[in-house]
Structure 1
Amino acid sequence: MRANRQWTVENDGARLSVFEYGLSSGGPGTPTVFLVHGYPDDHTVFGSVIEDLAADHRVIAYDTRNAGASRVQAQTANPLAPYRLPLLVSDLYAVLASAEARSVHLVGHDWGSVQGWAAVRDARAGGVFLSFTSISGPDLGHLRRWFAGCLRSPRRWLLGAGQALRSTYVAFFQLPVLPELLWRLLGPRYAGRAGTGTDTATENGIRGLALYRANLLDSGRAGRRFPPFIDVPVHVVVPLHDPFLSPRLTDGLRDEVQDLRTSAVDGGHWWLAENSEMFCRLLRQTTGPHREADR
């Protein structure tokens, strides 16, 4: 779908490509949805979602650092420094500011959801977000606390071990060279499934490895201090067949989120793209004038 408007935002060494679709006026009564993609995607993973929502929403999307058409200025001293989570969150707010977007419904998938959790905990969140919809991307601090809870309770040891097995790819991504070689081999296969160009899928996969190398190993350090309570309404969509994330990762979220709703769906990690019509129906329950009662 062709964007109504496209522009570039420069922020902390990154040039971010931003796209606007749908009802661009954003007038009274027009809900604004802000889409943040994950790994190894770019904003086009939301293609079917954008086409559906554009009929009655203002839709803003962007390619995150070094994904799609966005690029990052390389740093020789510390090549991973530009990919730390605080900078990703800074990008998110810079894009919103450039779009003059306030009172938006934030939607994040995978790493876009990881960034979304950090954004709604940020001091800048007040008055910016009407809601946050999370799909297949946990809050990193909550993930650490969840694992710690599993270790403390023998009844949850198997649950924690199961998630550890699901996360073995994270350790693999820390290795030099091999993950890049694997992406050269698997990029065309992923592109066929996701409906994206082969070169784009492969390069997104290779460049995006920096997200895991810059953030995952020290996620515990960031989670030691309990973060602010979240007062933004949160809807967590839980694909029951996600090979990377246990559906039980939502355990304990009600202690951190004032207004939490969860929806289990029959699908895998990319359920959002493969079942966009159903996802948009769920999202409209939040963005529409009458929100369904919390389940």
Structure 2
Amino acid sequence: MEKHLHNYSLSAVNKDTLERKTDVDIRENSHVPAMTIMLWNHFQEQPGMLHEEFKNGYYPGQSSERILDITGGLADDALAMFEVHSIDDFLHTSYDIQNKLLLFRTKIKHERVIRVSEKHFNTEWWKDEFAVLVNTSSEEIRDKLVLRLQQARDDFEKGRKFCLQLDFSQGLESWYADVCERNTPVIMHWYGRNDDRNYGEDSIENLSVFILNWSKPVKCFLSKWMILCCFPCWLFSGGCCYYIHRKSQVDDMKDKFKLPVSFRSVSHLPQQEDTPCCYFGKIYHLPLDSIRY
């Protein structure tokens, strides 16, 4: 009984301490944009341009009182997952996510497919690597984040399994695709019928954080497209059992944040290393010269 009271008292003290520190940290981050990005090679050369915390250099994987470094998640997504096993774990993780700046290293690709004749298409890719700094105390994130963390805490205190994913990819995807399409030369397109279209696709790696007390979901077993298009494979590989078990036992929560992008660059540095052509298409990098802020 005494041990139980001691743990409860410790949690209460930790909660009170963290809540008092929260307002201070929010004020400290009030001048930081919701999402700040730099090309990765520019960031390595002049990390202080991304945030003053890096004015003396960037040391991979070293989090600080102001920065939560998740750049390693690009190579190992387990580094972007925060497992909580006690209420104190949850309080400290929640505090860090809400009040520290999240530093990611991410790769992004934008694809454009152009129909040039009845049977022929041209494909072009833009591919780049970025350092991304997310300020979760910004107005675009905070209210929604607080509500979701409270829901996760309620699950935890009730003994439920949960997995909360915070996805920050939409803003960067939208910004990157817009810059690539807006600043490329005009191409003569071929139109034969009304249903001819040019279309593209965006993909991005490692711009999410997971807070969980169970496991990360296996996407292929929960995807509606996988179930509809590959139903026999999904069924015989155990997808049905996994789907039923996951839905009944785990509260999977996912929030997507479409944040405005603040771009930083170093004018005297090259953009990226040259990339060879891929398949029958061409690979480009972000057209820096045409970006204006």
State the TM-score, normalizing by the size of structure 1.
Answer: 0.25
Q: Which has the higher strand share?
A: 2
Q: Which has the higher helix share?
A: 1
State the TM-score, normalizing by the size of structure 2.
Answer: 0.26
Larger Rg: 2
